[in-house]
Structure 1
Amino acid sequence: MASVAAGVLAVIACLHLQPSRTWTLAPQEMYTAGGAYIVEFTFTLLLCMTFLSVSCVKGITSSFQRNFYFGLAIGFALLTGSLCSSGISGGCLNPAVSVGVGVAALIQNRSYAGYYIPNYVLAQLLGGIGATVVFATTHARVYASKAARIPFSLAT
């Protein structure tokens, strides 16, 4: 919720600074709404899967105290998603961004954006849920061994 509020406040600030420049929260020319939702779902899934993979699994060991591999992987996933989807759906890949861009379009009297806000958000939330399911499925062995070591009993 806080990120959605921050996104809306950022849009209001941007509209004040540059009133004529905004994104359009709608499928781009030559593409259908279904295509835009599929792209948002797919690349949100990719981004979330990348984040889960680098943050929840023991990573690369290095002689350096710090490394940049996690940020690099997430950054490349975001770059890939943005470049591939911006010409089709606008490339939001985040519900807070979708709400912010949709609110900007509504403020500029583009009423069609109100239709797309919940649809984009739903596609992105389903992408995040899909990434969770894929990650849990592909890493089940790692987490099953930890769960087996935890004693659980309703009697105790």
Structure 2
Amino acid sequence: MRTYTIEAFGAFFFVLVFGFTGDPLAIGLTLMALVYIGSPISGGHYNPAVSFAFFLKRKLSFSDLLGYVAAQLAGGFLAAFLLYFLSGSVFYVEPPSDTGLYQQAFSELFFTAIFTLVMLMLSIASLHRKNNLNGLIIGLTFTGMLMISTPISGGILNPATSIGTALFDLIQGGDSYHHILLYTIAPLCGGALAAFSFSFFNPKWEA
């Protein structure tokens, strides 16, 4: 239960900062702090795409994957509620109007894959496993991926952000759920690509 609680806690604060600031550096620094908090307990995923990659690498059971994802989505939903309570407006995510669906999907897939591959490298590969800078590296990597992907796809890279906020928006009568498939399928495929890439490049480093 502790692992699911910390995943919900981390996703909650991650989405909260995302909604309040939208600033890649603020989001990345928050993720850094959350990774240091949650890494010894749950691995500090806070992202269904990351958890899916760890499941594919057999570091999570299927039941744990479901628990992680449920906790992450609950955290995202609660963050959307608090954003509404504090600001009086509904926070939701949507892609830019000046890019196409294929560009947006590629951006979400590719940059989620890079970020998730870094997570796998730092968490699984024995060479990096005890590096005290892991949280900083993860946070700065996510910052960089957001800076690049935001003009293309909106830079979500985390289904907990899109699904949690879209569900709350739906309750309030909104229709941002139209973007759920983009912000769910593409990042999950990115997680799968990261898991495959890790096995391809580092077959001898897996525990």
Please give the range of the TM-score, normalised by the shorter of the 2 chains.
Answer: 0.7 to 0.9
Is the CA contact (8 Å cut-off) linking 1:26 and 1:33 kept in structure 2?
Answer: no
**Amino acid in structure 2 at the alignment position of 1:131:** A
Percent identity, aligned pairs only, is 29
In structure 1, the residue matched to 2:121 is 53
**Amino acid in structure 1 at the alignment position of 2:180:** I
> For each residue in 1:3-54, what CA deviation from the matched residue of structure 2 results, as whole angstroms up to 9, or x when unmatched?
101111111111111123624x222121112211111111110111001111
| TM, length-normalised to structure 2 | 0.60
CA distance in 2, matches of 1:88, 1:60: 32
Runs of 4+ that moved beyond 6 A:
none
In structure 2, the residue matched to 1:77 is 141
Larger deviation, residues 73-82 vs 98-107: 98-107
The count of aligned residue pairs is 138
Q: Any stretches of 5+ residues in structure 1 without a counterpart?
A: 147-156
CA distance in 2, matches of 1:128, 1:44: 7
> For each residue in 1:101-152, what CA deviation from the matched residue of structure 2 results, as whole angstroms up to 9, or x when unmatched?
32344345432x2221123111111110110000011111334xx7xxxxxx
| Correspondence 1:39 to 2:80 | no
CA shift in 2, pair 1:91/1:10, >3 Å: same
| Correspondence 1:17 to 2:101 | no
Select which of 157, 161, 179 maps to 1:93: 157
Partner SS for 1:22: coil
* TM superposition shift of 1:60: 5.7
Partner SS for 1:132: helix
Instruction: Tell me the C-alpha RMSD between the 2 structures.
Output: 2.2
Select which of 107, 110, 131 maps to 2:194: 131
| TM, length-normalised to structure 1 | 0.77
Asked which structure has the greater RCO (Cα within 8 Å, sep 6+), the reply is 1
Select which of 178, 181, 203 maps to 1:118: 181
Q: Which has the larger radius of gyration?
A: 1
CA shift in 2, pair 1:106/1:33, >3 Å: farther
CA shift in 2, pair 1:88/1:108, >3 Å: farther
Q: Any stretches of 5+ residues in structure 2 without a counterpart?
A: 1-69
